[in-house]
Amino acid sequence: MVRLTQILDSYPNLIPLLVDTGISILISLLEAKKVNEITREAAVKKSTVYALLKKALKISLVKKDGDLYVLNEKLWGDVADLLREIRDIERLLGP
């Protein structure tokens, strides 16, 4: 939790991207995916994914290559590390 607070203090523009289903969408973007794959993995509507992608692309949190989207780890490595930690905790806790 401390790490999340530190990241949000450093990058307050991330807060709108991490609310509601934002974390699950961004976790799915740790690997390059198409929008349909993101919606299935994060269990959200396409419109929700597109809205988040639009915001994330604006701050270069996400990169687009053709029809694939992926987290921009070159610029946002600390955020990617945090998302991996959250993913690993969720896997340990189960459904």
Question: What is the structure's pLDDT at 47?
Answer: 97
Question: What is the structure's pLDDT at 84?
Answer: 95
Tokens read off for 16? 């709108």
Domain count, the chain: 1
| Ordered alpha helix ranges (H), 1-95 | 2-10, 15-18, 22-28, 35-42, 46-58, 77-93
- For position 48, which CATH number holds? 1.10.10.10
- Look up the domain containing 21 and give its range: 2-93
Give dist(CA 11, CA 40) in Å, integer. 28
pLDDT tens string 30-53: 999 999 999 999 999 999 999 999
Whether 69 and 35 have beta carbons less than 8 Å apart is answered as yes
Inter-CA distances, 19 with 8, 22, 45, 65, Å: 12, 5, 15, 25
pLDDT tens string 5-27: 888 899 898 999 999 999 999 99
Examine the pLDDT at 66 and tell me if it is beyond 80. yes
